[in-house]
Structure 1
Amino acid sequence: MTVTRTASTNWQGDLPSGEGVVTFVSSGIEKTPVSWPARSEKPNGKTSPEELIAAAHSACYSMALSAGLGKAGYTAEDIETQAYVDFKAGTGITGISLNVRASVPGIGADEFAQIAEATKTGCPVSQALQSVPISLDAALR
């Protein structure tokens, strides 16, 4: 089954001083303002495409890790994934770092590291972003 999610952005003005609003059509979550300064300088209450990618990647990775652990016979009590997406004006997205901490009863550190690394390449968002270097720091709590 294919599921399509939809978001849209309405932009007004030029790049340096213009602003936009991202609408999450599928979920109906709150509209979010976006601007060039939020992307290249300071957020000031606005988001950026890179922050949205970080949100998508952290959620996808957490779910994929939960699935991988489940296939190995484990159930995580807690998985916290932080995604850092680096952006350089004029170049684009230059790298992504995933920082994962998890509580998983009964698993050893080596087995957890193997599953976490396999998840890095198996996560659908990681697959979509494979042209960007992705690093992983995963550890048990």
Structure 2
Amino acid sequence: MIRIANAHWEGNLKEGNGTLSTQSGVLESTNYSFKTRFEVGVKGTNPEELLAAAHAGCFTMAVAAKLNAKGFTPNSLDTEATLTMNDLGIVSMHLKISGSVPNISAEEFATITKDAEQNCYVSKALSIPISSEVHFEFENA
């Protein structure tokens, strides 16, 4: 499986702006900028918010899969992912899940969620090697 997302940027860091789009079309020229990244209340998204959303979604699906594997079917699962940055670095991600799952003990639910925390695809991806590729368009000034 391959998933593709695109970023476009114009201008300098603080006054410039860009758009993000995804292969599925869910994000289509969605605004992002320095202000949407570092100032509260500005309409648009940012890389850290998208990473938190991806982690919340992946983790919640992993919990559902692990519950199903043990014979449980959740009525509902809700996760809040809180990404923390310090000095322009991501330092932690905290996943807070609540669930309604018939016939399971709190201890078993906690064990399943702890396993999903460590083993969902996004959790694992946060420590994988990164590669990049460059295509540069030379312009005469």
Question: Do both share a fold (TM > 0.5)?
Answer: yes
Bigger relative CO (Cα 8 Å, ≥ 6 apart) = 1
Distance of 1:40 and 1:71 partners within structure 2: 41
Distance of 1:13 and 1:105 partners within structure 2: 53
How many residues are treated as equivalent by the alignment?
A: 127
Q: CA deviation at 1:4?
A: 0.5
Matched, 1:116 2:110: no
- Tell me which residue corresponds to 1:55: 53
Q: CA deviation at 1:71?
A: 1.0
**Structure 2: runs of 5 or more not aligned:** 129-141
- Tell me which residue corresponds to 1:104: 101
- Which stretches of structure 1, 4 residues or more, deviate above 3 A after TM superposition? none
Q: Equivalent residues in 2 for 1:34-73 (5 A)? A: 34-73=32-71
Distance of 2:41 and 2:48 partners within structure 1: 11
- Tell me which residue corresponds to 1:125: 122
Query: Bigger radius of gyration, 1 or 2?
Result: 2
**Structure 1: runs of 5 or more not aligned:** 132-141
Alignment partner for residue 12 of structure 2, among 11, 14, 20? 14
Quick one: which amino acid aligns to residue 68 of structure 2? G
Quick one: which amino acid aligns to residue 13 of structure 2? L
Distance of 1:43 and 1:52 partners within structure 2: 16
Q: CA deviation at 1:129?
A: 1.5
Quick one: which amino acid aligns to residue 100 of structure 2? S
Quick one: which amino acid aligns to residue 107 of structure 2? D
Once the two structures are superposed, residues 62-118 of structure 1 have per-residue CA deviations (whole angstroms, 9 ceiling, x without a partner) of 110000001111000000011111123x43111111110000000000011000100
Distance of 1:13 and 1:43 partners within structure 2: 22
Once the two structures are superposed, residues 42-72 of structure 1 have per-residue CA deviations (whole angstroms, 9 ceiling, x without a partner) of 2511111000001101110111000000111
Of the structure 1 ranges 76-85 and 32-41, higher mean CA displacement relative to structure 2 is found in 32-41
Q: CA deviation at 1:130?
A: 4.1
Q: CA RMSD in A?
A: 1.3
Distance of 2:97 and 2:4 partners within structure 1: 28
Structure 2 counterpart SS, 1:83: strand
Of the structure 1 ranges 97-106 and 43-52, higher mean CA displacement relative to structure 2 is found in 43-52
Q: CA deviation at 1:128?
A: 0.9
Structure 2 counterpart SS, 1:11: strand
